């Protein structure tokens, strides 16, 4: 007989998915920026793309991944060692993401300085990173989280919910979370109306649960 998730587990999962949605929408907005720049005959809002890129550079590795690596993954490994292989894959993804983001920044610099074929190179870098990251988040949501629901205890879920929901947790730092929200807000303000749909309902921490 399947039991319903506890309210704490539901809240923790909603918080994780909130952060995933915000990141996914940012990637979609970057792709839309590429398409709009190409279609508008050279109109290039470098300030907006730079802000979106800074968000991608800072949020996954400094805010989102540490909560998974230090809280969620160890809890699940303790409860069911059979998840170790999947968790190793996800941790490798976390490590792979950093050089891909460095390459993305390099492609943006090259394009902004007028390198020949620069927009195509930037588009390729954005698309490759977006596909990589969407696949990573899908595996977390479709494979990892169901295992977590099946094996984590109430105390485990309390720790996970606190890590993802308590901005005063000294492990992650309130200032970092505030900076991340402020950067997201500045991106929203810079984004023209034609692209705003990519960012709607993606405000970090906006879960209704």
User: Is residue 203 in a domain?
Assistant: no
Share above pLDDT 90 across residues of the chain, in percent, rounded to a whole number: 50
CATH code for position 124: 1.20.120.520
User: Is residue 205 in a domain?
Assistant: no
User: Is residue 206 in a domain?
Assistant: no
What range does the domain containing 180 cover?
Answer: 7-198
Q: Structurally, how many domains does the chain consist of? A: 1
* DSSP string of the chain, one letter each residue: -PPPPPHHHHHHHHHHHHHHHHHHHHHHHHHHHHHHHHHTTS---HHHHHHHHHHHHHHIIIIIHHHIIIIIHHHHHHH-GGGHHHHHHHHHHHHHHHHHHHHHHHHHHHHHTT-TTHHHHHHHHHHHHHHHHHHHHHHIIIIIHHHHHHH--HHHHHHHHHHHH-TT-TTT-HHHHHHHHHHHHHHHHHS-TTTGGGTTT--TT----
Rounded to an integer, what distance in angstroms lies between the CA atom of residue 102 and that of residue 208? Answer: 34
User: Is residue 1 in a domain?
Assistant: no
Between these two residues, 195 and 159, which has the higher pLDDT value? 159
Confidence of residue 201 (pLDDT cuts 50, 70, 90): low
Residue 208 has pLDDT above 50, yes or no: no
Residue 140 has pLDDT above 70, yes or no: yes
Out of 24-38, 40-54, 64-78, 164-178, pick the least confident. Answer: 164-178
User: Is residue 209 in a domain?
Assistant: no
The pTM assigned to this predicted structure is 0.81
**Integer distance in angstroms from the first to the last C-alpha of the chain?**
25
Residue 73 has pLDDT above 90, yes or no: yes
pLDDT for residue 165: 79
User: Is residue 133 in a domain?
Assistant: yes
pLDDT for residue 188: 75
User: Is residue 23 in a domain?
Assistant: yes
**12-37 pLDDT, tens per residue?**
999 899 888 888 888 888 898 898 88
User: Is residue 193 in a domain?
Assistant: yes
Between these two residues, 171 and 18, which has the higher pLDDT value? 18
What is the pLDDT of the chain when averaged over all its residues? 84
pLDDT for residue 109: 96
């Amino acid at each position: 007989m399947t039991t319903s998730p506890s309210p704490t587990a539901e809240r923790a999962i909603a918080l994780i998915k909130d952060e995933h949605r915000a990141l996914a929408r940012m990637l979609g907005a970057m792709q839309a920026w590429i398409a709009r720049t190409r279609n508008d005959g050279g109109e290039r809002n470098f300030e907006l793309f730079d802000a979106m890129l800074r968000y991608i550079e800072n949020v996954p590795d400094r805010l989102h991944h540490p909560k998974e690596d230090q809280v969620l993954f160890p809890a699940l490994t303790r409860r069911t060692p059979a998840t170790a292989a999947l968790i190793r894959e996800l941790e490798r993804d976390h490590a792979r993401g950093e050089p891909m983001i460095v390459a993305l920044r390099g492609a943006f610099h090259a394009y902004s300085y007028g390198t020949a074929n620069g927009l195509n190179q930037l588009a390729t870098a954005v698309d490759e990173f977006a596909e990589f990251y969407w696949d990573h988040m899908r595996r977390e949501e479709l494979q990892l989280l169901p295992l977590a629901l099946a094996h984590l205890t109430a105390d485990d879920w309390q720790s996970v919910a606190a890590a993802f929901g308590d901005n005063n947790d000294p492990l992650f730092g309130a200032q970092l979370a505030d900076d991340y929200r402020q950067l997201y807000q500045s991106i929203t303000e810079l984004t023209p109306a034609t692209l705003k749909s990519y960012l709607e309902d993606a405000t970090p921490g906006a879960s209704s649960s």
